[in-house]
Amino acid sequence: MDANQIVAIGGVITGLGTIYVGYIATRSKVKVDDVVTVQAKLDRTNEALEAEQAARRKDRVDMEADHRLDRAQADAEHEDRERSMQRRIDMLSAQLDEALKALNKLDRILFHARTYIARLLRVFAERDETPPPRPEGLDE
């Protein structure tokens, strides 16, 4: 093999590696965006829960001032809304945990891919015909 063929093969491998890393980076960005979206939903739900709890305290004060007799019904309504919000918070927290787990694995794969491409570039820069071994975890 002459030098031009090695350079051409190196260019093709570099191009394919760039496409692969771009794809992985895009997926990683989507995962990060998903984490941000779920975190924003979680924050909004927590704020709504705090607002509901504040409304409950205000209603309780109003009921005591008005000597209302339907306090049990009002408390039950507040408790239902709070339980509903707490279930949503639990669900969003689980989604956030799953998104973070997926992000961590994806980042690890991206790191391995970048390491492999850097080694390939170094090998072809030295005009060696054998590419380095693929790092563990690259195909996970």
pLDDT tens track for 48-74: 888 888 888 888 777 776 666 567 777
Cα distances from 68 to residues 47, 73, 86, 87, in angstroms, run: 28, 11, 28, 30
Unique residue bearing structure tokens 């956030």: 96
Query: What is the pLDDT, as a whole number, of residue 131?
Result: 65
**pTM of the predicted model, to two decimals?**
0.44
CATH topology of domain 3-125: Helix Hairpins (1.10.287)
For residue 9, pLDDT beyond 60:
yes
Provide the residue ranges of all domains of the chain, joining segments of one domain with +.
Answer: 3-125
The answer to whether 15 touches 23, Cβ cutoff 8 Å, is no
Closest CA to 31 of 100, 79, 84: 100
